[in-house]
Amino acid sequence: MNAAIEHDTQERIDSEAPRLNGMVFSSAGGKRGLPLERYFAQEGVDPLSQAFDGKIAVHPGVGGGAIPSDEVEGRLEVLLDAPRSGDSVAYIHVPFCETRCLYCGFYNRGYSREESARYVDALLQELRLWEKRAAQRQGPVHAVYFGGGTPTALEAGDLERLLKAVRVHLPLANDCEITVEGRLYHFGPEKMEACLAGGANRFSLGVQSFDTNIRQTMGRLASREEVFRRLERLKSYNQAAVIVDLIFGFPMQSMEVWLDDIAAACSAELDGMDCYQLNVYGQTPLGKAIREGKLPPAADIPLQSAMFAAGVEALRNAFYRRLSLTHWARTSRERNLYNLKVKGGAHCLAFGPGAGGNIAGWLYLNRSDYRTWRELVLAGRKPVMTLVRPDSHFYVFRAVAAALEQGWLDLADLEKKHGIVVRPALEPLLEQWERAGLVERRGDVLELTLAGQFWQVNLSQLMQDFLKRALDEADK
Ligand code: SF4
């Protein structure tokens, strides 16, 4: 659903900077001896539109190295014996989509109704595999996210039994957030009621744009009117937070259309909305259509940054609360727990082909090939393909990423919590970013300006790379 931006990926597991459920699996830093200027932004220009040459599309993070495959099972055995402590989440992946959205870089498999029950049967088996192990059984799970792909594509009965099984096989906290991600197309009352009967308390729905022409050009099938009707129906149960995703920067989406998208979402009186920037990946149908001149280009950086700024202003004027730079809440029902926790380095129990988890900082990745994943699960084996040893400062990097995602970072607190000293090393970098108009400093707290918010992913990635160098030096 949000695949162009967040939560999940399938195809990139074996290639460039793979990440899952918001977690990054490869080292993004590591270049030693590079000049400080590598980390600098441009000065004397409009920072909102020109601070950097381009945006980094992947989620920020600095990973460790994958351990040899013949050591994976042994290491997992050790990890599984330890109860989880601290924040924990679970991610359940549903790889199917009814149609492919043009812009999606993470499309995996087409959906067929016959596959629904077979897939859920296998998922239930995977949920049982580690059920008796301390790392799954002990310690509350604070958020569960059904992502994809399109979880709402599954049949109503399968959605309900899957949701109910999660309650049986995972120790959910009393206030656990249970999110079902999906599309409004083919998500009628029967499926909505099945999700609610299963205990879902949050729906994150990919609307992307309310403009029927843009929606349908991008492969989203429901019209504006149908989207409103379905949202109204889902809200009428009054049992779960209803959130929509919007995207800015589509071809044909002028500033006027974007502001209408936000106004339309506000008029629906939902619990919250998430605003993401479109990333056009070259290998997607959208990238191809633009290259071949079949569609006009997507918004360039100046227009994207103006849309970002206009979106922030519109939602502030509508008195939405900002939960992170991309997530906005209107009511107290919306908490956005999964996204906030997973980015902060929470343990993550992951299920489904290509799903990525985290046990005590060790990132693991399930087999992404559906058939292999299913065969292994049905044979009673957890289909972990890759296990990544955490960098010695893994939790520092996750704390930086999570804080900047919310627009600020308390450096004194970071030092205190992690027993490190980073302020002297960071000083020249922060001074430069301040001169460039990307950050402001209030004592030890670093706050992103509006321009800094737009370039947050760059700043986060650069800061983590920089810190890795500095901390590795200090460790020598
Ligand atoms: S619903 Fe569309 S955007 Fe979401 S994963 Fe499927 S193809 Fe991609």
Q: Which of 93, 97, 154, 184 to mutate to test the pocket of ligand 1 (most atoms within 8 A of CB)?
A: 97
Which residue's CA lies nearest to atom 4 of ligand 1? 1
Q: What are phi and psi of 151, to 5 degrees?
A: -55, -35
pLDDT of residue 425: 93
Helix 156-169 vs helix 113-129: angle between axes, to the nearest 10 degrees? 0
Report pLDDT digits (tens) over 232-279. 999 999 999 999 999 999 999 999 999 999 999 999 999 999 999 999
Q: Quick one: which H or E segment has residue 264?
A: helix 255-267
Task: Tell me which of 109-113, 129-133, 240-244, 414-418 is least confident.
Answer: 109-113
Report pLDDT digits (tens) over 334-372. 999 999 999 999 999 999 999 999 999 999 999 999 999
Alpha-carbon distance 353 to 13, whole Å? 11
pTM: 0.92
Domain 69-342 classification at class level: alpha beta
> Is 25's pLDDT higher than 70?
no
Task: Tell me which of 25-29, 232-236, 348-352, 442-446 is least confident.
Answer: 25-29
Question: Residue type for 431, please?
Answer: E
Per-residue confidence at 57, pLDDT binned at 50, 70, 90?
low
> Is 7's pLDDT higher than 50?
no
Which residues have a Cβ under 8 Å from the Cβ of 381 and sit 6 or more positions away?
129
Alpha-carbon distance 400 to 358, whole Å? 17
Domain boundaries, the chain: 30-61+392-475, 69-342
Q: Which of 93, 100, 184, 278 to mutate to test the pocket of ligand 1 (most atoms within 8 A of CB)?
A: 100
Alpha-carbon distance 198 to 160, whole Å? 5
Asked if residues 338 and 349 have their Cβ atoms less than 8 Å apart, the reply is: no
CA 220 to chain centre: 20
pLDDT of residue 473: 85
Nearest to 63 by CA among 101, 93, 20, 94: 20
Task: Give the CATH fold of the 30-61+392-475 domain.
Answer: Arc Repressor Mutant, subunit A (1.10.10)
Alpha-carbon distance 183 to 8, whole Å? 15
Ligand 1 atom showing the smallest separation from residue 99 Cα: 7
The length of the chain, given as a count of residues: 476
Q: Which tokens hold the place of 333?
A: 């029902």
Alpha-carbon distance 360 to 86, whole Å? 10
> Is 16's pLDDT higher than 90?
no
Which residue's CA lies nearest to atom 2 of ligand 1? 101
> Is 30's pLDDT higher than 60?
no
Alpha-carbon distance 112 to 93, whole Å? 16
Terminal CA-CA length for the chain:
44
Distance 287 CA to ligand 1 centre (A): 15
Alpha-carbon distance 78 to 170, whole Å? 20
Q: Which tokens hold the place of 464?
A: 């983590």
What are the C-alpha distances in Å from 204 to residues 402, 424, 425?
Answer: 20, 42, 40
Alpha-carbon distance 96 to 148, whole Å? 7
Half-sphere exposure for 239 (CA within 13 Å, toward CB): 14
Report pLDDT digits (tens) over 159-175. 999 999 999 999 999 99
| Token pair 């990946």 in the structure block, residue | 281
Q: Which of 104, 109, 209 to mutate to test the pocket of ligand 1 (most atoms within 8 A of CB)?
A: 104
Alpha-carbon distance 400 to 423, whole Å? 13
Alpha-carbon distance 246 to 313, whole Å? 15
> Is 22's pLDDT higher than 60?
no
Pocket of ligand 1 (CB under 6 A): 1, 3, 97, 100-101, 104, 106-107, 148-150, 183, 206
